[in-house]
Structure 1
């Protein structure tokens, strides 16, 4: 699936983030605990430099807790990074973010200037809800759809902390094809930017392998099929996703599956693990190397041209003639 969703306001927002980052003391990046890697904006990583960063694994209540712990360990290996888990049903845990910000920026204690923090995150990751919890009042507009916040704003959280809120942004180019599907599966992009059938097949393939018992119980299946198409066909029958004539309505069953995944009705599900991403990064590196090699070959071919032996011979003779003329001219100039 080729995902092309980078509206003009996202381009503007990314530019503003780059311009404002040097004014802040600490960066707070909100991630989706179900897809910590795929919801991490690589553009932010490029411009962060050595600035300390708190990575918040939000929607923790929807994610597999054991895998989340592994993600926290993996993320904190990066220099200057601390992690914390949050969810809308646990505002007390969200308040720990303020304490962590103060702890990391303790060098500013006693100074007249407030700690300046910038908060970023992809669309629909729960950033606005988190801000309202931190501010203890309704500051940011919330909504269960991507791209609610459209412009940057400053919020005084009290306790000597100023928060720079930024719109949720994706990035211009999504390199990892698996990440594209995970973003779509989690609801990080609008429904209009995705095909339910395409994403549903991806989600079904992953879920029957990673959470077989969950899928078998949820869709009331005696046996779990081996392939995603067989699973979707079987699930469609138990959920009434059948068209006239007894045909399976694949679009409807994919829609049901994705909505239940996004709402948490399937239970605590995580769509990627640190170990999976190591393998995928290696695959992407190999693919990038192949593309670079192919590009180099095309470039070399363009320089030499697609010559038949006869054309190549004539070209060599013309080159020899030019070199001979050049030698005669140099000899005449010396006289």
Structure 2
């Protein structure tokens, strides 16, 4: 797969706007994809957010490896960052996000009350790379389709303030990617999970990477989905693609098979998976607790 670089103009503008609006919010909701908790974090966000209270929201946790979701929560907690796994599509975990925001901001709101200031909703900013579910999160909070959603990156194009309920005002921001992925593997993971527009990549490249990494990390899931024998599991990704194309009755339509494989990996039909590994030193520490 070629080196991926993708930085549309509206994202550069969004980065400037985020910096300008941070002073208006109490807390940042940083959404990440639970399947790639580090690869789906924009490295420039730490610099932008600074010391502002933050909650890392691991969305799509129903598609991720359940054991590793908890290890990633422990990882972020170890870094001094609150982390909450959710499934925005189903509304699972939303109450936990609010309770964690209240916990983080209690000292600030207690000081405001002591000064005689009237209670007001928490002001939050949602931020993250494209297609991690920011708009779906908003719609679940407000229980209406006020934010446009789509299973493709780049749906939200402008910032917008939304009054979600009596307790929360949210500033929605467009997804922000960064100019260049220093680690090519990060770009591949983002492509496979759908954070980068499919139109700028070759689908067969993404599918071949998907077969390769699933074969490496979750071979049982891959074998079960495509009914692969032990011998067939030793095939190279390109040969596996040809075999699956034939087995699904697509004859020589490898592009159709590639598209199907990508869809089935993204939607969880090949099973739950997490592609980012928790740093080993922390994984060892958490296993002892």
TM class, shorter-chain normalised? 0.7 to 0.9
Residue in 2 that maps onto 1:101: 101
Q: Which has the higher helix share?
A: 1
- Matches of 2:152 and 2:236, distance apart in 1: 31
Distance of 1:125 and 1:98 partners within structure 2? 19
What residue is the counterpart of 2:286 in the other structure?
none
Aligned length: 272
Higher relative contact order (CA closer than 8 Å, sequence separation 6+): 2
The residue aligned with 1:329 is none
- State the alpha-carbon separation in 1 of the partners of residues 184 and 70 from structure 2: 25
Q: State yes or no: 1:149 paired with 2:149.
A: no
**TM-score, normalization: structure 1?**
0.76
Q: Secondary structure at the match of 2:169?
A: strand
Matches of residues 154-303 of structure 1 in structure 2 within 5 Å?
154-223=161-230, 224-243=233-252, 249-275=253-279
1:95·1:134 contact (CA, 8 Å) conserved in 2? no
Aligned residue runs from structure 1 range 62-77, under 5 A: 62-77=63-78
User: Retained in 2: the 8 A contact 1:201–1:228?
Assistant: yes
Do the aligned partners of 1:28 and 1:54 also contact (CA within 8 Å) in 2?
A: yes
Q: Which residue does the alignment assign to 1:324?
A: none
Q: CA deviation at 1:169?
A: 1.4
Aligned to 1:307: none
CA contact (8 A) 1:220 1:238 kept: no
Q: What value does the CA root-mean-square deviation take over the aligned residues?
A: 2.0
Q: 1:192 to 1:277 in 2, by over 3 A?
A: farther
TM-superposed deviation, 1:237: 2.4
- Measure the CA separation in 2 of the matches of 1:83 and 1:156: 23
Q: Distance in 2 between matches of 1:183 and 1:195?
A: 14
Given that 1:221 and 1:235 are in contact with CA atoms closer than 8 Å, whether structure 2 keeps it comes out as no
Distance 1:214 1:155 in 2: 41
| Cα deviation, residue 178, structure 1 | 0.5
Larger CA deviation: 85-94 vs 175-184: 85-94
Which runs of structure 1 show a deviation greater than 6 angstroms over 4 or more consecutive aligned residues? none
Q: Which runs of 5+ in 1 are unaligned?
A: 244-248, 279-335
**Is the contact between residue 130 and residue 196 of structure 2 (CA under 8 Å) also seen in structure 1?**
yes
CA displacement at 1:123 relative to structure 2: 1.1
What is the TM-score with the length of structure 2 in the denominator? 0.88
What is the CA distance between 1:276 and its match in structure 2? Answer: 8.0
* CA distance in structure 1 between the aligned counterparts of 2:263 and 2:92, rounded to whole angstroms: 28
Kindly tell me: are residues 11 and 89 of structure 1, through their superposed partners in 2, closer, same or farther at Cα, counting changes over 3 Å?
Answer: closer
SS at match of 2:190: helix
1:4 and 1:89 map into 2 onto residues whose CA distance is 29
Mark the runs of 5 or more structure 2 residues left unpaired by the alignment: 283-289
Deviation at 1:125, TM superposition (A): 0.9
**CA distance in 2: counterparts of 1:250 and 1:62, whole angstroms:** 26
Aligned to 1:282: none
User: CA shift at 1:105, angstroms?
Assistant: 0.4
Task: Look at both structures and tell me which one has the larger radius of gyration over its CA atoms.
Answer: 1
The counterpart of 2:131, out of the listed 124, 127, 142, is 124
Q: How does 1:31-70 map to 2 (within 5 A)?
A: 31-70=32-71
